[in-house]
Amino acid sequence: MLLTVVVATLLASAWITGGDTTRTQFALGVALVAYAIWTLAGKKITVAPQREKSYSLVIGFVTGLLTGGTGVFVMPAVPWIQSLGFEKDELVQALGISFTFSTLALALGLWWHNALPVQSLSLSALAIVPALIGQWIGTRVRRVISPLVFKRCFLFCLVGLGTEMMLRAV
């Protein structure tokens, strides 16, 4: 999955640097909200173990295309990773690995298309500090809440993110 995320992100990074991403951003917001509501309603995405590997390649490629086109790398990677049945700490770790690969691929794609000014790198590096603080707080919170509460909080955050994306696109 990670290899196809990187390849597709590099290929699609021209989209985010060369055009209007309003439609893809809106569509991604709709997909996030739909997935979160689907899951909050008790529906599940299940994958047969024998199909996991081949589906992972496709999911990675689609995630990469959306990353390159919108700069957002949660769809369809997040629902896919959630469908694999990880416990909460494993889920967060798998998501973190996926997000790291997507972020690095997007940065490389932006650099490749001369859309990553060197002067912005120091500000981006500073933004890592609050992200690490948030991860530390999240780790503490995950230790004291049930998996069900964790999942619901996660899904409500996806609803919020998707709604914000749709509102920003209109």
3-state secondary structure 1-53: CHHHHHHHHHHHHHHHHHCCCHHHHHHHHHHHHHHHHHHHCCCCCCCCHHHHH
Owner of token pair 């899904």: 155
Predicted confidence (pLDDT) per residue in 30-84, tens digit: 888 988 998 899 887 888 889 999 999 999 999 999 898 888 888 889 889 988 8
**Cβ atoms 168, 38 nearer than 8 A:** no
Question: Quick one: pLDDT at residue 163?
Answer: 97
pLDDT given for residue 125 in this prediction: 83
Report pLDDT for 31: 84
Q: What is the mean pLDDT of residues 131-147?
A: 88
Span 142-160, mean pLDDT? 89
pLDDT at 1: 93
Query: Residues 3-13: what's their mean pLDDT?
Result: 94
pLDDT confidence of residue 57? 96
Residue ranges of alpha helices (H) inside 71-146 are 77-83, 88-112, 120-144
Distance CA 138, CA 67 (A): 24
Cβ proximity of 35 and 80 under 8 Å = no
The answer to whether 41 and 152 have CB atoms below 8 angstroms apart is no
pLDDT of residue 99: 92
Considering only CA atoms, which of 6, 127, 20 is closest in space to residue 73? 6
> Which pTM value belongs to this model?
0.73
Q: CA-CA distance, 82 to 56, in Å (whole number)?
A: 12
Domain range list for the chain? 2-169
Q: Which two tokens stand for residue 170?
A: 């209109």
**In the chain, how long is the greatest CA-to-CA distance?**
47
What would the mean pLDDT of 3-22 be, rounded to a whole number?
Answer: 87
- On whether the CB atoms of residues 94 and 84 are closer than 8 A, the answer is yes
List, as one string, the DSSP characters of 64-89.
Answer: HHHHHHHS---TTHHHHHHHTT--HH
Which residue is listed with tokens 């509102």? 167
pLDDT of residue 167: 96
